């Protein structure tokens, strides 16, 4: 089977997912969401702050905590060895599932590295938690390999987080998410805190890694122009609902939902050929996008 064929197969399905914050005034942050993620695809999840993107990502990872409650729905991971009902996993199964099958890079993740341990120790801990029989040599090789893949010099293994730039820390987090070769990586605003040039470099890296390794990515951001550059398909969320799900090309050319059209209209630089930027390198678009985000 070719990579293109595999890309039409589902790797994750959400059926009717509803998440409620059971606060004094309950908030239904995700409303009956249906979504299929294909193998190896980059699916963008767009929508304004507060529309429920992070809540959705946490629920997929089973990282939601009270007052959040899943009020309806199913989340199914389609592995090569069969389906996994994520909401039914026991704690031990869930620990094995995370990182191994599906990993997440959080909003502000670059500050989530443990400040008192080296990059080497953090990678090693994650590896050993899942592969307790891995040898020292294998651990070293794997750690060096993932760092190289995300563009970090393996000599940085001995560094502490505070010795690294923000962009470098975010790359280490992405390396960590790739460590056990999951089929899905969920990235929640992974580059929002970084300056535009660093952000673009990292995005290009993510697209390249996906092309090389063929994992699926759910890429979450309020930044629609950025999603148009890197996504195969884009889901648009509005007040907890997925109101549109289309290929990036079609969404750009022929958005159906008035809210999507409004979002597209709010980014004046969205003209010309979609995707030209990431695929051809930094050019004058950078300046326009930088001004827009400032
Ligand atoms: N811990 C919480 N308790 C109550 N409401 C919450 C909590 N976390 C998020 N919300 C609400 O859920 C909605 C969706 O939030 P969130 O998923 O963070 O959106 P996004 O990631 O798109 O900015 C918002 O209305 C937010 O106020
Ligand atoms: Mg969020």
Give yes or no: residues 210 and 289 share one domain.
Answer: yes
Q: Does residue 52 have its Cβ closer than 6 Å to ligand 1?
A: yes
Give the per-residue pLDDT at 289: 39
Q: Does 235 or 280 have the greater pLDDT score?
A: 235
Give the CA-trace dihedral at 127, 164, 202, 102, to 10 degrees: 20
> Which ranges of 134-257 does DSSP label H, i.e. alpha helix?
136-149, 166-178, 196-213, 224-230, 248-254
Mean pLDDT is lowest, of 112-116, 200-204, 221-225, 271-275, for 271-275
Give yes or no: residues 81 and 216 share one domain.
Answer: yes
User: Could you read off the pLDDT of 52-63 as tens digits, one per residue?
Assistant: 999 999 999 999
**Burial class (CB within 10 angstroms; exposed 0-12, middle 13-18, buried 19+) of 241:** middle
Nearest CA to ligand 1 atom 20: 50
Give yes or no: residues 176 and 227 share one domain.
Answer: no
- Cα 6 vs. chain centroid, distance in angstroms? 20
Full residue range of the structural domain in which residue 138 is found: 112-181
For residue 51, the CA-to-ligand 1 centroid distance in Å is: 7
Work out the percent of the chain whose per-residue pLDDT is above 70: 89
| Number of domains observed in the structure of the chain | 2
Give the per-residue pLDDT at 294: 44
pTM for the model: 0.90
Q: Does residue 31 have its Cβ closer than 6 Å to ligand 1?
A: no
Domain boundary (134, 152, 181) is at: 181
Structural contact between residues 252 and 276, judged by C-beta atoms closer than 8 angstroms: no
DSSP H or E segment with residue 164:
none
278 pLDDT above the threshold of 80: no
For residue 16, the CA-to-ligand 1 centroid distance in Å is: 19
User: Domain holding 219: CATH number?
Assistant: 3.40.50.300
What 3-state class would DSSP assign to 45? strand
Domain boundary (163, 181, 199) is at: 181
For residue 52, the CA-to-ligand 1 centroid distance in Å is: 6
For residue 4, the CA-to-ligand 2 centroid distance in Å is: 31
Give yes or no: residues 276 and 194 share one domain.
Answer: yes
Q: Does residue 49 have its Cβ closer than 6 Å to ligand 1?
A: yes
State phi, psi for 66 to the nearest 5 degrees.
Answer: -55, 145
107 pLDDT above the threshold of 90: no
pLDDT band at residue 16 using 50, 70 and 90 as cut-offs: very high
Of the candidates 188, 158, 208, 49, the one whose C-alpha atom is nearest the C-alpha of residue 173 is 188
- Answer yes or no: is 138 within a domain: yes
Of the candidates 86, 36, 81, the one whose C-alpha atom is nearest the C-alpha of residue 60 is 86
283 pLDDT above the threshold of 80: no
Give yes or no: residues 288 and 165 share one domain.
Answer: no
Of the candidates 159, 180, 173, the one whose C-alpha atom is nearest the C-alpha of residue 206 is 173
Give the per-residue pLDDT at 198: 85
Of the candidates 172, 20, 180, the one whose C-alpha atom is nearest the C-alpha of residue 97 is 180
Q: Does 285 or 31 have the greater pLDDT score?
A: 31
- Answer yes or no: is 176 within a domain: yes
Give the per-residue pLDDT at 7: 80
Q: Is the dihedral of CA 241, 19, 79, 151 positive or negative?
A: positive
- Answer yes or no: is 106 within a domain: no
- The DSSP 8-state label assigned to residue 142 in this structure reads H
> Which ranges of 63-222 does DSSP label H, i.e. alpha helix?
91-97, 119-130, 136-149, 166-178, 196-213
- The atom of ligand 1 lying closest to the CA of 49 is 23
For residue 59, the CA-to-ligand 1 centroid distance in Å is: 12
pLDDT band at residue 4 using 50, 70 and 90 as cut-offs: confident
- Cα 133 vs. chain centroid, distance in angstroms? 29
Give the per-residue pLDDT at 201: 87
Q: Please, what is the average pLDDT of the chain? A: 89
Nearest CA to ligand 1 atom 24: 50
Nearest CA to ligand 1 atom 14: 52
């Amino acid at each position: 089977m070719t990579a293109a064929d595999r890309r039409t197969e589902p790797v994750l399905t959400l059926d009717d997912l509803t998440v409620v914050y059971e606060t004094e005034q309950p908030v239904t942050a995700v409303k009956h969401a249906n979504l299929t993620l294909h193998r190896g695809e980059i699916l963008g999840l767009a929508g304004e702050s507060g529309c429920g993107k992070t809540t959705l990502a946490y629920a997929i990872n089973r990282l939601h905590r009270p007052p959040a409650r899943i009020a309806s729905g199913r989340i199914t991971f389609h592995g090569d060895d069969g389906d996994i009902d994520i909401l039914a996993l026991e704690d031990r199964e869930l620990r094995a599932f995370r990182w191994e099958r599906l990993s997440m890079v959080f909003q502000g993740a670059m500050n989530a590295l443990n400040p008192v341990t080296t990059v080497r120790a953090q990678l090693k801990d994650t590896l050993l938690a899942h592969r307790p029989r891995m040898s020292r040599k294998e651990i070293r090789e794997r750690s060096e390999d993932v760092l190289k893949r995300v563009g970090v010099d393996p000599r940085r293994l001995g560094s502490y987080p505070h010795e690294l730039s923000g962009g470098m820390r975010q790359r280490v987090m992405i390396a960590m998410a790739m460590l056990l070769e999951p089929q899905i990586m969920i990235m929640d605003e992974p580059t929002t805190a970084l300056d535009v040039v660093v952000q673009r470099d990292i995005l290009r890296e993510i697209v390249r890694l996906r092309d090389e390794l063929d994992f699926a990515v759910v890429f979450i951001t309020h930044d629609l122009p950025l999603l148009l550059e890197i996504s195969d398909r884009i889901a648009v969320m509005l007040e907890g609902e997925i109101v549109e799900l289309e290929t990036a090309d079609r969404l750009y050319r022929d958005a159906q939902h008035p809210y999507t059209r409004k979002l597209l209209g709010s980014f004046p630089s969205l003209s010309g050929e979609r995707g030209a930027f990431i695929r051809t390198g930094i050019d004058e678009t950078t300046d326009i996008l930088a001004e827009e985000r400032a």
